[in-house]
Amino acid sequence: MNFRDKNIKEFCIQPINQSKPARAFVFAFNNNFAKYFGTALKSLIDNSKPDYFYDVIVFSSDISPRNKRLLLEMLPENFSLRFFDVSGYISDLLEGINLLTTYHWSVEMYYRIIIPLVMRDYEKVLYTDADIIFNEDISGIFNISFDDKELLAVSDLFNLVSHLESRKLRKQYIEEVLELGQSYTYFNSGVLMFNISAIETERYIEKMKKAFDKLEIMSKAKIMFYPDQDILNFIFNGKVKLIAQEWNLQYHLPVVNKNLLPDLNKDKLEEYLSGFQSPKIIHYTSHIKPWNEPENDLAEVFWKYARTTVFYEEIIAAMQKKISQDAVHMTSLHIKLNDNKKVILWGASSYLEDFLKKYSINKKYYPNIIGIIDKDSKRTGSFLGDYEIFLPEILKHCEADEIILTIVNSIDERYEEVKNYLKDQNINIKLSKL
């Protein structure tokens, strides 16, 4: 592993000189996500103040000329939008490193990690994921004191369930492998305010090197949770100030994990529920997105802004296409389950949840379904319908005749991932996809 820090000065993003006070924002996403970023950008514009200049920067390698043009045409006079292809810089800096991706995370998730290196001439920079909505003017987050820390962030919702036995492995990973000591300091990487002037470059690169070493070891051991988030938690251990949930309201808790609500940490839950009532930044975490399931809480806020963008029809078309594809997959899965083979389903997806409801799949009529596998340890021990969610390790002990892949996004890539996992673990169970 070779970290090349010699080219940091050669790839340096400069602030735009303006007479107005400037606020810097960074986003990272691929071209497929541009239509959803358009909604995030619209929410930022609609909640902006004319006495500030908004310096918006996108890290990406494949945004099409069309999408760039449409996004630029949205801007008022006090906004700038610039696109930087950082893939070459990252390849140079992280030479020889396999930037691991999984499920609905793309390689762009790593781009935020280089912000302190390529934006040295900024004082502070706000990074947010593109699946967010600015629900009001966010002057407040730029005015929060760092208190001599290098980063402002919001506690990850894992801390609401870290005391549960089903989360023991994840808690141990955070405290021992990531060296946080106490899991309650673990933060979500979807909204981050970097205190650039306080971050020392050499120390940062050294910590980053150690973090990627750990990630490589964990991936070889088939233990990988949230790569970019884990790396940042390791780098900023002891250097982060946690701020209120309202600044990064991770909306998935009552959407995905309703059954866990009675078992959550009550003190932390109270803060979360308070933020849910009046979020300043809504973060549409998890695989369940408002553009696919508009009936969920806070999804209406996304659509309020989406229908005022030029991407609205494109978002609707993508949703309709997904609905059509899901219907075909559901028919295929229903036929497979009626073979009476002992099966285990891989992927606790929103598609699977809809399927179980639509066809009234339950243990009484489908006892041949052993359970559901999902690599997200946050979901281990919870249920979709009647069926418990397990980590992949259960395959070493269960007596399944077949594994059915129930992930519909990037199905071919996911199929190869699971097939390779089974081969590496010497698990001889038939794998099929929809």
- Six-digit token string for 377: 């340890």
Q: For residues 17 and 36, what is the distance between their CA atoms, to the nearest angstrom?
A: 29
Residue 103, C-beta contacts closer than 8 angstroms, at least 6 positions apart: 287, 375, 407, 409, 410, 414
* Cβ 103 vs Cβ 128: under 8 Å: no
What are the sequence ranges of the domains in the chain? 2-310, 332-433
Compute the 3-state secondary structure of the chain and give helix, strand, coil in percent, each to the nearest 5. Answer: 45, 20, 40
Which residue, among 32, 260, 248, 241, has the nearest Cα to 151 in the 3D structure? 241
* Residue written as token pair 């995030």: 40
Find the DSSP H helices in 247-359: 253-256, 266-277, 299-306, 312-337, 350-358
**For residue 193, how many C-alpha atoms fall within 13 Å in the half-sphere facing its CB?**
22
Q: For residues 169 and 188, what is the distance between their CA atoms, to the nearest angstrom?
A: 18
Q: For residues 264 and 262, what is the distance between their CA atoms, to the nearest angstrom?
A: 6
Which CATH fold topology does 332-433 show? Rossmann fold (3.40.50)
Which residue, among 358, 405, 407, 367, has the nearest Cα to 387 in the 3D structure? 367
Does the fold of domain 332-433 match that of domain 2-310?
Answer: no
Output the pTM of the full model.
Answer: 0.81
Sign of CA dihedral 410, 416, 418, 421: negative
Residue 42, C-beta contacts closer than 8 angstroms, at least 6 positions apart: 74, 305, 306, 308, 309
- What pLDDT does 92 receive? 75
Which CATH number describes the domain made up of 2-310?
Answer: 3.90.550.10
In tens digits, the chain (434 residues) has pLDDT values of: 444 444 555 678 999 988 899 999 999 999 999 999 999 999 999 999 999 999 999 999 999 999 999 999 999 999 999 999 988 887 777 766 666 665 555 678 889 999 999 999 999 999 999 999 999 999 899 999 999 999 999 999 888 877 777 778 888 888 888 888 888 899 999 999 999 999 999 899 888 888 887 776 565 544 556 778 988 999 999 999 999 999 999 998 877 666 667 777 777 788 888 889 999 999 999 878 999 889 999 999 999 999 999 999 999 999 998 888 878 888 888 888 888 899 999 998 878 888 898 888 999 889 999 999 988 776 788 888 899 999 999 998 888 999 999 987 777 778 888 998 899 899 999 999 87
